[in-house]
Amino acid sequence: MFKIHHNAGGYLSLRERLSGLYKLGKNNDEDFWAVKDVTFSVNPGESKAVIGRNGSGKSTLLKILSKITPPTKGKIITRGRMASLLEVGTGFHPELTGRENIFFNGSLLGMKKKEIENKFDEIVDFSGVEKFLDTPLKHYSSGMQLRLAFSVAAFLDSEILVIDEVLAVGDMDFQKKCLDKIETVTKSGRTILFVSHNMAAIRALCSSVLVLDKGQVRYHGDVAHGIDHYMSISSSFEEQPGVFNLEQHPSKKIKQSGLVEARLIRDGKPNYLFFPGGPFKGEFDFAGMAPDAEVGFRMVIKDSYFQSMVNITNHDLGLRLQANKSGAGTVVFEMDVLPVYGDGTYYIDLQFGDEAKYKDTIENALSFKLEPKDVFGTGKFLNPKINTVFPGKVTINVQ
Amino acid sequence: MVEYEIKPVAKLGFGVDELWRYRELFYFYTWRDIKVRYKQTFFGFAWAVMQPILMMVLFTFFFGKKLGVPSDSIPYPIFVFTGLLMWNIFSSGLTSASNSIINNAHIIKKIYFPRLIIPLSSVMVTLFDFLMALSIYLVLLFYYGINVNVFEVTGALILALLITALTTFGLGTFLAALNIKYRDFKYVIPYTIQVLLFVSPVIYPVSIVTSAWAKYLLAINPLSGAITLLRSAISDVPPDWNMVLISACCALVYFIGGVLYFKSSETYFADIV
C-alpha cells in the first residue's frame, strides 16, 4: 500500500544551481515542482493506472516511488517488497550471454540468486530464446533482446509492482503473451501501479485510475470516468467543436511538420456529432513537407474501448496524394456511410508522412460522438449501449 | 512484511546495513565487471598478468639498467614489481571507480540500489587483477631466490593491500561523485595519475629521499607507506613505521571522507548524471 503525502520533486533547481556556478555565481534559480500535493493510497490487490499528458509529472512520481529521486517534501509508505520496472532489460550488456544477462538483470530487479535459479527455466521458456542462451547478446535481434528482457521482468515476485509503459514489446504473438502475463499478474492479488498511454490495456488491466495534470491530481476513481477525463484534457477543442489543433498534440512526435489542424465536417461546418450510417467528412491540413511531395495518410477510427473499427489508407484505395509547391495541402477524407454504431465517444488515430512511409503517428488525435438515429427506418432507436459496426442494409427472414 | 518509508534525505552515514541487504547485487556487479573486462580479448584473463610483466620489463630496462636507479639491494625487477603490484591497484582502480557512475548512468536512472556498490565493484575488479599479478610475483620471488619470512610477507601484504584499497576506494568514490557534477575531472584524472606515479616510490626507493620531513610528506600519499612496507618485508631493511603509520591514517581519512562525500551527493545522481 502506498500513502503519498505532498510529495514533490523540486530537483531542477539543483541543476540550475550547478550551471549557475559556471556562470560565476549568477543566481537564476527557479523552483519547479514536478509533482505537488499528490496524496493517494493504493490498497493491497488493487491495480491502479496513472495517466496524464507528457510533462504531467507521471515520470517524476514513478521515480520518487522507485526511490531513484528523493522527494523534496512529503513521504511514501510502502508495505511489502516493492519492485519497479521503469524499463525492461536495464543493465543488459551486449558482451554478456543471454544466460549471464538474465542473472545480472534479475539481480538488479531485486531477485535473489536462488529465485533466479528456480525460475530460470520458466524465464527462458517464456522468452523463446533457449537456443541462443550462450550467445552474446549483441548477436540477438532487437526483438529477441526485448523478449528476453520482458521475460526476466515477468517473473518478478514482489508484492508491489510499479510498471512504466514497458508493455507490448516484440512481435504480435509476443505482445499478446505479455499482456496475458500482465493480466495474470494483476489477477494474482498483487498491488500494481501502472503508467501507460495504452488505454485499451488500462481498461483491461486496471481497477482504478489516477489522472495527473501539471503535477496535480485531476481525477482519482474508476477507469471509465478517468479515461474520459484524461481524453477531455488531452484533446479539448476549446475554440470550436470539431476543430482540432494537432501541432501541439501530446502524442505527436515531430512537432514542426506534418499535420497541423484537423476539422470534422458535417453539413459544410465543423462539428463533432455524427449519425451512424450517415456521411462523414474530415479535412486535415498539413505543412512542412517537401515541395510536390507524395504523401501518405492513414486514419483509424476506434470505439471507446479503443478497438479499431475502421483502418484505411490512401494506398489501400489506390489513391495518390500530393503536396503543393510549398509542401502544404489539405487531405480531405469522405465516407458516404459512417460504419460505426453505438454509444459514447469515438477516437481517431492518424498517421501521416511522405513517400509512403508514415513519419508521424498521432494517437487519439480527434474524437467525435454519435447521435442516436433511427438507422433502419423502423421508428425506433437501436440499443445504443452496443458498440458495433454499422451493418448497412440487412434483411432477415424465414424461407 | 517489509515496511518502508520514502522521504526526503536527511541522515548522513555509510549505509552499511543497506549495503548488506544488497550484497547479492554487489556480487553480481563484480562478477559482471570482471566478465566484461576481458570479453572479446584474445588473451582474456592473461592480460591481468601480462600488463604488470610488460611494465616491469620496461621499467627495469630504462630505470634499472640505463639510469641505474638504486633498489635497496633487491634485484630491480622484483623491486619495481613490488611497487607496481600496489600501483596498479591504485591507478586502474581509481580510473575505473571515478568513471564508474557515469558509465552506469543508464542503470542509475532506472533502478534504485545503494550506489556505493558501483565504485566498490570496480575496485574489486582491480583486486582480481592484483590476485593474478600476485601469483606471478610469487613465482618471481622464487626465481630470484629471495629468502623471505612467509608470515612477514603475508602480514605486510595484507596491511599494504588494506592501505592501498582504502585509498583507492576513498579517492575513487570521491572522484566518482565529483565527476558527475563536473565532467572536467574526466580530463584531469589521467594526468593526475601520471604525475602521481612519479610522486610514489614505484620506480625509486624511499631511501633516496634524505630529509625526514620530505619523507613524511611523501607518506601523505598512502602508496608510499604501502610500497615501503612491502619492500622491507622482502629485504633486510626494516620499515619506517612512522611513515607506514602516517600512510595508514591518511588512507583511513581518504576512505571516510570519500565515502561520506559520495553518500551525501548520491541521491541526486539520477537527476544530474
Predicted complex ipTM: 0.86
Q: In this structure, is residue B114 part of a structural domain? A: yes
Residue bearing cell 521482468: A153
Cell of A143: 526483438
Q: Are strands A208-213 and A216-221 parallel, antiparallel or unpaired?
A: antiparallel
| A79 to chain B, closest Cα gap in Å | 4
From the list B268, B54, B200, B20, the residue with the least C-alpha distance to A17 is: B268
Q: What is the DSSP letter of B238?
A: P
Nearest-CB residue to B39 (from A86, A91, A95): A95
Tens-place pLDDT, residues B4-42: 777 776 566 677 888 898 999 999 999 999 888 877 777
Q: Is residue B155 part of a domain?
A: yes
Residue A138: pLDDT above 80? yes
Question: Phi and psi (nearest 5°) for A263?
Answer: -130, 135
The length of chain B in residues reads: 273
Inter-axis angle of helices B150-181 and B222-233, to 10 degrees?
A: 160
Residues of B within 8 A of A109 (CB-CB) are 111
> In this structure, what are the phi and psi dihedrals at residue A278, rounded to the nearest 5 degrees?
-90, 180
Q: Is residue B3 part of a domain?
A: no
Residues of CATH 2.70.50.60 domain(s) within chain A? 243-389
Global confidence as pTM: 0.73
Q: Which three cell numbers stand for residue A22?
A: 559556471
- Nearest residue, CB atoms, B110 vs list A18, A72, A90: A90
Give the SS3 label for residue B58.
Answer: helix
Domain count, chain B: 1
Looking at residue A53, the DSSP 8-state letter turns out to be -
B8, part of any domain = no
Is beta strand A258-266 parallel, antiparallel or unpaired with respect to A269-270?
A: antiparallel
Let me know: does A275 contact A371? Beta carbons within 8 Å: yes
Sign of CA dihedral A182, B271, A255, A291: negative
Tell me if A346 sits within 8 A of A370, measured CB to CB: yes
Residues of chain B with pLDDT > 90, as a percent, come to 51
Say yes or no for a CB contact (<8 Å) between A113 and B24. yes
Instruction: Give the pLDDT of residue A11.
Output: 44
Q: A35-61 in b/e burial notation, b at 16+ Cβ within 10 A?
A: bbebebebeeebbbbbbbbeebbbbbb
Tell me the pLDDT tens digit for each residue of A311-368.
998 888 888 888 889 888 899 999 988 888 776 678 888 888 876 555 788 888 888 8
| Cβ–Cβ under 8 Å, residues A60 and A9 | yes
pLDDT band at A103 (very low <50, low <70, confident <90, very high): very high
Angle between helices B46-59 and B76-103 (to 10 degrees): 130
How far is Cα A144 from Cα A131, in angstroms, rounded to an integer?
Answer: 11
Does B182 reside within a domain?
A: yes
C-alpha cell at B233: 618485508
Mean residue pLDDT across chain A? 80
B→A interface, C-beta within 8 Å: 1-9, 24-25, 27-29, 31-32, 35-36, 39-40, 106-113, 181, 267-268, 270-272
- DSSP letters along A190-204, please? -EEEEE-S-HHHHHH
> Is B109 within 8 Å of A103 when comparing Cβ atoms?
no
Q: N- to C-terminal Cα distance for chain A?
A: 63
Separation in Å, CA of A389 to nearest CA in chain B: 43
Q: Is residue B248 part of a domain?
A: yes
CATH 3.40.50.300 domain residues, chain A: 2-232
Please identify, in words, the CATH class of the domain defined by A2-232. Answer: alpha beta
Residue range of the domain that includes B37:
16-272
CATH superfamily, with its number, for domain A243-389: abc- transporter (atp binding component) like domain (2.70.50.60)
Kindly list the residues from chain B whose CB atom is less than 8 angstroms away from the CB atom of residue A80.
Answer: 1-2
Measured between beta carbons, the chain A residues lying within 8 angstroms of B2 are 78-81
Within-domain flag for B192: yes
Find the helix or strand (DSSP H, E) in which B223 lies. helix B222-233
Q: Do A95 and B36 touch (CB under 8 A)?
A: yes
Q: Is residue B10 part of a domain?
A: no
Q: A189: which 3 cell numbers? A: 492479488
Q: How many beta carbons lie within 10 A of that of residue B180, not counting itself?
A: 21
Residues forming a β-bridge with A370: A274
Report the distance separating Cα B191 and Cα A58, nearest Å. Answer: 43
Contact pairs from chain A to chain B, CB under 8 Å:
107
- How confident is the model over A210-262, as pLDDT tens digits? 998 888 888 899 888 888 788 766 554 445 677 888 877 777 777 667 888 88
The answer to whether A332 and A278 are in contact (CB under 8 A) is no
Q: What is the mean pLDDT of chain B?
A: 88
Question: A71–B106: do the CB atoms touch at under 8 Å?
Answer: no
